[in-house]
A and B are shown apart, each in its own frame.
Chain A
């Protein structure tokens, strides 16, 4: 099974500042035949289901603001929020969907306003 580890577990950032969340997989999630990383990022606000933000490590889902970006390849990935807004307070999860099953999630990173 591929393990997913996020850092930090929690993060406090001032409004308008950059927030960065890291995710590391225990094995590569790069599919060589199409050169895509099978890594997704989700946002979960209290009382709501998770929402897909980023897939293939760096492709924004339709409707997701462009202040959200994903980067990385192989085993190391980053979610960046370029200018934090109040509505971005949430828990963020990475997930690999390369070597499945199981489809493994990171433990989550709680993002708050400083």
Chain B
């Protein structure tokens, strides 16, 4: 069955970086894009960016430009999200979510379990 398994919770100091992994299994990795979405405590869903798992190209939301980097390793079917210059407002649960490549996409049909990142001095 399809699984997206994320790395564990992190506690970081302001100004630091965090790297979260998302290990995919149960499907053909390169047939799906991978997205990152975050959710601050008590807030809604905020799309951060997308990586094409086949070619590695990325596109990031404007508010994260310059601070976020998404990469993938096709040999281990793992996607990584690195967020730098952390501030308290980055405290959130971070999710990876897959989307089928092509016009028959139906949105984000499988999500990771989430990774809590706490930014505190």
**Interface of A with B (CB < 8 Å)?**
31, 33-34, 38, 40, 42, 44, 49-52, 55-56, 59, 61, 93, 95, 97, 100-108
**Interface of B with A (CB < 8 Å)?**
35, 44-47, 49-50, 59-62, 95, 97, 99, 103, 105-114
Say whether A49 contacts B111, CB under 8 Å: yes
Residue numbers in B under 8 Å from A56 (CB-CB): 106
- Chain B: interface secondary structure? strand
Say whether B49 contacts A105, CB under 8 Å: no
Complex alpha-carbon distance, A101 and B47, angstroms: 9
- Chain A: interface secondary structure? loop
Say whether A40 contacts B106, CB under 8 Å: yes
Say whether A51 contacts B111, CB under 8 Å: yes
Contact of B35 among A44, A103, A106 (CB under 8 A): A103
Residue numbers in B under 8 Å from A104 (CB-CB): 47
Given contacts A38-B105, A52-B106, A102-B61, 6 further A-B contacts (CB under 8 A): A33-B103, A52-B110, A55-B106, A59-B106, A97-B99, A100-B50
Q: Contacts A49-B111, A95-B107, A97-B105 hold; do A105 and B99 have CB atoms under 8 A apart?
A: no
Say whether A49 contacts B113, CB under 8 Å: yes
Residue numbers in B under 8 Å from A101 (CB-CB): 47, 49-50, 59-61
Say whether B44 contacts A50, CB under 8 Å: no
Complex alpha-carbon distance, A59 and B106, angstroms: 9
Complex alpha-carbon distance, A50 and B49, angstroms: 17
Contact of A50 among B45, B99, B103 (CB under 8 A): B45
